[in-house]
Structure 1
Amino acid sequence: MRLILLGPPGAGKGTQAKILTEKYAIPQLSTGDMLRAAVAAQTEVGKRAKAVMDAGQLVSDEIVNAIVSDRIDQPDCANGFILDGYPRTVPQAQALTGMLKDKHAELDAVIELKVDETALIKRMESRVAETIAAGGTVRSDDNPEAFRKRLVEYREKTAPLSDYYTGTGELKLVDGMAAMADVTAEIEKLLLPA
């Protein structure tokens, strides 16, 4: 099961990925985690990434693509994986398509959690209020202004992936505003043919 979950911050991708990784015994691959692991393991591409990061620059698509390619070759990905935070752009999606083709593999599904952004902001504000009421610590980016910026960045950079994957025929839409169990059930229904 090779899967991509799309949707803006707060849409529930992480929650659904956790459920799916347990059900299908496949890893959730986070770009940040993969990058840190490659640097720590001092792989060839990890050394290149470290040099770029040490210079205070953003890691190029070429390096990120190479790290993803290396990671999906690992034994724990033999039965599939869920990509989290990759691809972020259409060029990365195109690279992933080529990478999988070279590995004689393909995606089983690209699932986008469709959500109402205004409701997402209210959800985030409620979560912050609940965390504070419970005496917990609120993440620095859990505030309406920072969240709105993340939504704008998502719309500009990542939302075009919907059109790309619609064009490839791989995109499936799920109502991300439904109850968590209903979202899970809908995703599982879409995955049945895979």
Structure 2
Amino acid sequence: MRIVLVGPPGAGKGTQAKIIAGRLSIPAISTGDIFRANVGAGTPLGLQAKGFMDAGQLVPDEVTIGMVRDRLAEPDVTNGFLLDGFPRNVAQAEELEAILVGLGTKLDVVLELAVPAEEVVHRIAGRRLCRNDSTHIFHVDFNPPSVPGVCDVCGGELYQRDDDKEETVRERLAVYERETSPIVGFYDERGLLATVQATGTLDEVTERALSALDDR
């Protein structure tokens, strides 16, 4: 099965991508993974991307698309894949369509994780990380530490990342609505869209997603 996963920041795409791909025995492919692999391997596209990133600039679509094209030509995607983080706009969606035509295949479904904006703000703005180890993650409501501001694991100070502050989260949501949400309509017109409510427990969202895929 060939799947694209879309949804706003804070929808749980990264977590669900790994779970769903694991259940289906297909690779979960994120743009972050593709970038790191190309930069780490020093590929021509990776060197181009690194140049833009080192200069604090966005990596152009053509470089990102080139990396995705190369990744989707690898043998482990023969039986399917789950793309997380690409496409981010309609132009990229059109390019992905062309890439798959060139490979003699097509998407089966575009899975949208739908979450109300205020829920996203609550999820992200309440997150707190440990200064000693960023893998120690808490939430002021969902997973509060025993002592406010102190990591239960190592006693380190908990803090809020700048990216997690409410005003930043709202700006990220605005960017998503402006640039990425139009691809929902793009795929809906093609009969590929399956929308899943991404509220509730992790397991509940996973089961809804898998049920939506079973209907395809």
Q: Is TM-score (shorter-chain normalized) higher than 0.5?
A: yes
How many residues matched?
Answer: 194
1:141: which partner in 2? 163
Q: Deviations over 1:26-56 (max 9, x none)?
A: 2221112211211221222223323333444
1:70: which partner in 2? 70
Letter in 2 for 1:192: D
Letter in 1 for 2:189: G
Q: Does 1:121 align with 2:121?
A: yes
User: 1:20: Cα distance to partner?
Assistant: 1.0
Letter in 1 for 2:80: G
2:210: which partner in 1? 188
SS in 2 for 1:141: helix
User: 1:179: Cα distance to partner?
Assistant: 3.1
Q: Deviations over 1:8-27 (max 9, x none)?
A: 11112122112112212222
Question: Quick check: 43-52 or 13-22, which moved more?
Answer: 43-52
Which one of 129, 134, 155 corresponds to residue 177 of structure 2? 155
The whole-number CA distance in structure 2 between the counterparts of 1:40 and 1:125 is 32
SS in 1 for 2:205: helix
Change (3 A) 1:82 1:134: farther
Equivalent pair of 2:197/2:205 in contact (CA under 8 Å)? yes
The whole-number CA distance in structure 1 between the counterparts of 2:122 and 2:189 is 32
Structure 1 residue runs without a partner (length 5+): none
Question: Quick check: 159-168 or 69-78, which moved more?
Answer: 69-78
Greater per-residue helix proportion: 1
Letter in 2 for 1:4: V
The whole-number CA distance in structure 1 between the counterparts of 2:160 and 2:56 is 27
Q: How does 1:92-111 map to 2 (within 5 A)?
A: 92-111=92-111
Which one of 165, 185, 188 corresponds to residue 166 of structure 1? 188
Over the matched positions of the two proteins, sequence identity in percent amounts to: 42
Question: Quick check: 25-34 or 156-165, which moved more?
Answer: 25-34
Q: Does 1:91 align with 2:91?
A: yes
Q: CA RMSD in A?
A: 2.0
User: 1:138: Cα distance to partner?
Assistant: 3.9
Q: Normalising by the residue count of structure 2, what TM-score does the alignment of the two structures yield?
A: 0.81
Which structure has the larger Rg over C-alpha atoms? 2
Looking at both structures, which has the greater relative contact order when contacts are Cα pairs under 8 Å and sequence separation is at least 6? 1
User: 1:4: Cα distance to partner?
Assistant: 1.1
Letter in 2 for 1:188: L
Q: Deviations over 1:116-152 (max 9, x none)?
A: 1112222334444226656245433122111111111
The whole-number CA distance in structure 2 between the counterparts of 1:106 and 1:193 is 18
1:57: which partner in 2? 57
Equivalent pair of 2:149/2:159 in contact (CA under 8 Å)? no
Change (3 A) 1:80 1:117: same
Structure 2 residue runs without a partner (length 5+): 128-138, 152-157
